[in-house]
Amino acid sequence: MAAENVIEMLHITKRFPGIIANDDITLQLRQGEIHALLGENGAGKSTLMSVLFGLYQPEAGVIKKNGQEVKINNPNDATALGIGMVHQHFKLIDVFTVLDNIILGAETTKAGFLQKREARAKVEALSERYGLKVDLDAKVEDITVGMQQRVEILKMLYRDNEILIFDEPTAVLTPQEIDELMATMKEFAKEGKSILFISHKLNEIMEVSDRVTVLRKGKYIGTVDTKDTDKQSLSDMMVGRSVQLEVQKGPAKPGEAVLSLRGFCVPSRAHKRNAVNLVSFDVRAGEILCIAGIDGNGQTELVHGLTGLEKSSGGTVTLCGEDISHASIRHRGGNMSYIPEDRHKHGLVLDFTLEQNMVLQRFKEKQFQTKGFVNKGAVREYAQRLIEQYDVRSGQGPVTVARSMSGGNQQKAIIARELDREKPLVVAVQPTRGLDVGAIEYIHSRLVAERDKGRAVLLVSLELDEVMNLSDRILVMYEGEIVGEFDPKQTDVQELGLYMAGAKRMEKGGHSA
């Protein structure tokens, strides 16, 4: 295949107030190749792609298509150049039908009125040709994440795009769906389409890509041929130092059950069925129990029901021998630490200072108040201690406004607050999402340390690597039910994937096995 560059991004620099997201980055995409863009969270991958797609304007650098310099001022320009993008967070209108979503922005009209018939025929033909099954008349909010991604791909094909950008496309898919996507991508490449594949997952990059460009902290590190490299060296390039891909931990010594769920149900906000349906399991002292599953299969609702953020509609929750099925959030917090999924929504009051955030649950305790008045000195002292103990870095110490801190340090602050409360149960939901490797390592080791102190840890994660590395026991959740229980040493990602996709399930009551 001719090694012709269809797209060249030369010396791109893009600044945001306070940070340089892309610092003199060069990327060359050849005709018909799958080119992976590798980097940690915050390395500048998405920014670079947004520049190519016309969403951002770079301060310096040029973009060339087929050797000609081009100016991409907005997504329309990108589309005109044949560039299409599947964004990490899908750009779909939930209440529109699939067909409306595909034609939006590229509608055929007669006197301003939409002409959908031809569009439908074209989309149906495309969907047939590439085996991208979608229901054109369903509303996007009613279809699965996998199908939503196919809608995004069809959007690009409908616009006859020749250069396809996939931004972290596998994060929301089951291993089987990932295989399908990889096959589709290879099919595109064979037809001569050029593909940019953004990822931080080394397995996928090794499997599908022809070449890899690595970014680190906004800087260009290098471009290598996939066949000439391996996972460890890519990982070193990405992080800049040797990293341990495995978590160091000894065997678990599980004790008594700390948390027991029996026939637990939580209603859904989106539909009439239960989001969590008749779930039963125990979490024992001294073990990390991990709940695996594709996003949106009831994990969020399970945790919300458990912590009291949502009302449960059936079953019992027993924590430390006490039935807390109908207890208040505050009461449950008496025996439970909770590292929430969304640190901006639930974890922090972003406009509060660090010290105010540190006592979010505890401000009513005797040491922090006298007769209804906040005891500021005690709060400051306490916050100071946590900051030192957990190495939370911030501009002005306890009085730093939480909003101004980096994501990793915000998460560390939450972890400090929650773990320092020293409760028998730790609930952690996606504690490492969006963080860099250093922070991930730190958080993993803290969770293992909690386990070794004899606490029960319930971890909910979407990252199968994390699940496999960290857990002592795995439960797979599918459509609100527990469909399987596994020992991480005796299973593999492929097997978990089948259960996560609902293709297989164990008999009910598997939890007691």
Partner 1 sequence: MKEKWSALMQKDGAKTVVASLLSILIGLLVGCVIVLVVGLTNPGMGAAAAWDGIRLVLGGILSTGRDAVGNLTFGFNPTNVGNMLFRATPLILTGLSVAVAFKTGLFNIGAPGQYLMGTAATLVVALSIPSTVVPAPVVWLLAFLSGILAGAAWGAIPGLVKALLNINEVLACIMTNWIAANLVTWIFDGSNWRNLEENGKTGYIYKTAHNGVETAKWGLDTIFPSSQVNWGIIIAAVMAVAVYILITKTTLGYELVSCGSNRHAARYAGINDRRNIVLSMAIAGGLAGAAASLYFLSGNTEFAWSTYQFLPPVGFNGIPVALLAASNPIAIIFTGCFMSMLNIAGQQLTNLTGYNEYITDVIIAAIVYLSAFSLVIKMMLDGQKKHKTSVPAAADSAPVPGGKAEKGGEDA
Partner 2 sequence: MTFLIRQTLIYAVPLMIVALAGVFAERSGIINLALEGIMIFGAFIGVVFVNMIQEAGIFDGAKADNNWVALQGFALMAMLVAAAAGAVFSLLLSFASVNLRADQTIGGTALNLMAPALVLFFIRIIANQNVLNMSGGDAPPWFMLRKAYFGYGRTDSMGFFGETFINQTYPATYVCILLFILLSVILYKTRFGLRLRSCGENPQAADSLGINVYKMRYAGTTISGALAGMGGFVYALTTANCSASGDVAGFGFLALAVMIFGNWKPLNIAGAALLFGLFKCIAASYTSIDINGDGVCMLANLPISVNLYRMLPYVITLVVLAFTSQKSRAPKAEGIPYDKGQR
Binding of residue 395 to partner 2 (CB under 8 A) = no
Site for partner 2 in 148-177 (CB under 8 A): 155
Q: Where are the alpha helices (DSSP H) in 259-346?
A: 299-307, 329-333
User: 26 or 74: whose CB is closer to partner 2?
Assistant: 74
Binding of residue 18 to partner 2 (CB under 8 A) = no
Q: Binding pattern to partner 2, positions 424-443, x when CB under 8 A?
A: --------------------
Strands 19-30 and 34-38: unpaired
Stretch that binds partner 2, among 58-66, 97-105, 207-215, 279-287 (CB under 8 A): 97-105
Q: Where are the alpha helices (DSSP H) in 421-472?
A: 437-452, 464-470
One residue of 53, 188, 197, 442 binding partner 2 per CB under 8 A: 53
User: 82 or 218: whose CB is closer to partner 1?
Assistant: 218
Residue 68 DSSP code:
E
Shortest Cβ 39–partner 2 spacing (Å): 18
User: 241 or 269: whose CB is closer to partner 2?
Assistant: 269
Q: Which residues pair with 196 in a beta bridge?
A: 35, 165
What is the token pair recorded at 253?
């010594």
Q: How many other CB atoms are found less than 10 A from the CB of residue 319? A: 25
Specify the length of the chain in residues: 513
Element (H, E) at 28: strand 19-30
Shortest Cβ 272–partner 1 spacing (Å): 19
- Dihedral of the CA atoms 199, 204, 206, 207 (nearest 10)? -140
Binding of residue 56 to partner 2 (CB under 8 A) = yes
Query: Of these partners, partner 2, partner 1, none, which one is at the site of residue 137 (CB under 5 to 8 Å by kind)?
Result: none
Query: Of these partners, partner 2, partner 1, none, which one is at the site of residue 407 (CB under 5 to 8 Å by kind)?
Result: partner 1
Strands 163-167 and 194-199: parallel
Stretch that binds partner 2, among 50-58, 230-238, 254-262, 390-398 (CB under 8 A): 50-58
Query: Of these partners, partner 1, partner 2, none, which one is at the site of residue 134 (CB under 5 to 8 Å by kind)?
Result: none
Query: Of these partners, partner 2, partner 1, none, which one is at the site of residue 74 (CB under 5 to 8 Å by kind)?
Result: partner 2
Count the alpha carbons within 13 Å of 267 in the hemisphere toward its beta carbon: 5
Shortest Cβ 156–partner 2 spacing (Å): 11
Q: What gap in Å lies between CA 461 and CA 469, rounded to an integer?
A: 11
Q: What gap in Å lies between CA 7 and CA 63, rounded to an integer?
A: 7
Q: Which residues pair with 476 in a beta bridge?
A: 292, 484
Shortest Cβ 270–partner 2 spacing (Å): 11
Stretch that binds partner 2, among 88-96, 196-204, 230-238, 294-302 (CB under 8 A): 88-96
Q: In what order do the strands lie in the sheet with 322-323?
A: 274-284, 257-267, 314-319, 322-323
User: Is the Cα dihedral 93, 95, 100, 105 positive or negative?
Assistant: negative
Beta-strand ranges (E) seen in 285-437 are 288-292, 314-319, 322-323, 336-339, 369-370, 373-374, 425-429
One residue of 5, 13, 64, 75 binding partner 2 per CB under 8 A: 75
Binding of residue 79 to partner 2 (CB under 8 A) = yes
Shortest Cβ 344–partner 1 spacing (Å): 6
Whether residue 358 contacts residue 416, with contact meaning beta carbons closer than 8 Å, is answered with yes
- How many residues sit close enough to partner 2 to count as binding (CB under 8 A)? 28
State CA 204 to chain mean position distance: 16
Shortest Cβ 267–partner 2 spacing (Å): 13
Site for partner 2 in 101-140 (CB under 8 A): 104-107, 109, 112-114
Q: What gap in Å lies between CA 245 and CA 260, rounded to an integer?
A: 32
Residues that bind partner 1 (CB under 8 A): 16-19, 21, 41-42, 46-47, 89, 307, 309, 328-333, 338, 340, 344-352, 356, 360-361, 363-364, 369, 372-374, 395, 401, 403-407, 433-434
Q: Contact positions toward partner 2, by CB under 8 A?
A: 16, 50, 53, 55-56, 74-76, 79, 85, 87, 90-96, 100, 104-107, 109, 112-114, 155
